[in-house]
Amino acid sequence: MDPTKKLKKEIVAHEQLPWELIEEILSRVSPKYLVPFRVVCKRWKAILDDKTFINNHKETFRFILATKSKIYSVSMDTKILVRELLLDIPGLEAQKPKKLVSCDEFLICIMDKGAAVCNSWLKQTTWISEPSFRFYGIGHRDSNNRSEESVYKTIWNSSTGWKIHDLASGTWIDMGSESSNSNQGKKGPKMHSTSGVFLNGTLFWIVTSDEIAFLYYILLDFPTEGFYQYCELPFGMSHALDALVLRLFNGDRFSVLKQCYVTKKIEIWVTKNKVNVEDGRDVVWMNFMTFSIPNFPGLVPFAYPQQPSYFIHKNERLVVCFCDESGKAWIYVMAENKLIDKVKIESVVDPWPLHCTYFPNLVSVPQGLRDEAKSEV
């Protein structure tokens, strides 16, 4: 019998079991079998959609690292645990990914000939073939919630301009001709990094200009697709190797990590209120954490510049993944202006692994594209 049906039958047969015990049982089920359980009943769906449940699952993790031929997950419970992830990514056996990005529930591995869009928890992957453009983000236009009918779009750039790829139809839109209302024109702004953040139907990036830092966004709705300035960040850049990373905070706000390359001081800024993606004029930033720790390393190595990855744990601790100047990956945990713990990830042998923050989820990669990907690989 299919293990999913067997487990469902056993749990339903013991429907008088305490919900705490049912949650404990489900937390030990392989993630790829959890998706069908969401239709058992409303209570099960609520459990499986709850981020607390996913965070407590026995196979959850917080960071992903990539080297030539290997992808790893890094979980943090009572200790650091590194596992190899088996993902079907064309070319990975012979090439280290060019970029590793987490955006809108998905992991994106950018390779020489395109990008693999993955749900690394469910072991699902689709492939987008585009050798001449660089990947910058993925999102959908359903501003309130995603559904099985959500139309996902990916954003790409080259020296000739920006393009949007519709995953459902496979069509490409040249933003040079479709974004006349944008305040950036064909080439768009100069992004600080390729790591976009998706919120309520809109993709955001950090843009730097003349030592001033801004948030820019792109609308994913024809015919208004284009780049627009959203708001100014509460600080600028004093050095090209300053760390500057944008993430979501508590699901509906922004957080930004900044480390000054010269002083090594770290600041975490968050938006005070829920983000209104349609108007950035009322955005208020507040300093959430500050760390001035003696002899603290730079989070952007000079030898191989790569922005750090981070998350804020229970609004109390800052957890950062980065590579040191020798190329070894580290996890640092900080709180109350102190370094609480640091761990070198010894099991990732290759130097300079790519890394990103990733929170597991049960959002499936669009079905039709996964079917096409299997035929291409």
Looking at residue 159, its pLDDT comes to 76
Range of the domain at 21: 6-59
Q: Number of folded domains in the chain?
A: 1
Question: Can you say how many angstroms the Cα of residue 278 is from the centroid of all Cα atoms in its chain?
Answer: 22
**Is 25 inside a domain boundary?**
yes
Residues 6+ apart with CB under 8 A from 125: 87, 88, 89, 116, 117, 118, 119, 365, 370, 373
pLDDT (tens digit per residue) in 64-109? 999 988 999 999 877 888 999 888 888 788 788 888 988 878 999 9
Cα(36)–Cα(309) distance, rounded to whole angstroms?
32
pLDDT (tens digit per residue) in 12-26? 655 667 878 888 888
pLDDT (tens digit per residue) in 247-299? 999 989 999 999 999 999 999 999 999 998 888 888 999 999 999 999 999 99
- Rg for the chain (alpha carbons), in Å? 21
Q: Residue 175 pLDDT > 80, yes or no?
A: no
The whole-number average pLDDT for the span 123-142 is: 82
Looking at residue 338, its pLDDT comes to 95
**Is 158 inside a domain boundary?**
no
pLDDT (tens digit per residue) in 189-206? 778 777 789 888 888 999
Looking at residue 300, its pLDDT comes to 93
**pLDDT > 70 fraction of the chain, expressed in percent and rounded:** 85
Looking at residue 132, its pLDDT comes to 79
Looking at residue 273, its pLDDT comes to 93
**Is 20 inside a domain boundary?**
yes
Cα(269)–Cα(256) distance, rounded to whole angstroms?
5
Q: Residue 343 pLDDT > 90, yes or no?
A: yes
**Is 167 inside a domain boundary?**
no
Looking at residue 240, its pLDDT comes to 81
pLDDT (tens digit per residue) in 31-60? 888 888 887 778 888 888 888 888 888 888
* 256 or 241, higher pLDDT: 256
**Is 37 inside a domain boundary?**
yes
**Is 50 inside a domain boundary?**
yes
Whether the CA torsion 243, 97, 365, 129 is positive or negative: it is positive
Contact assessment for residue 49 and residue 38, using Cβ atoms and an 8 Å cutoff: yes
Task: Return the minimum-mean-pLDDT range out of 3-7, 188-192, 241-245.
Answer: 3-7
Cα(110)–Cα(99) distance, rounded to whole angstroms?
5
**Is 258 inside a domain boundary?**
no
**Is 28 inside a domain boundary?**
yes
Instruction: Kindly report the average pLDDT of the chain as a whole number.
Output: 83
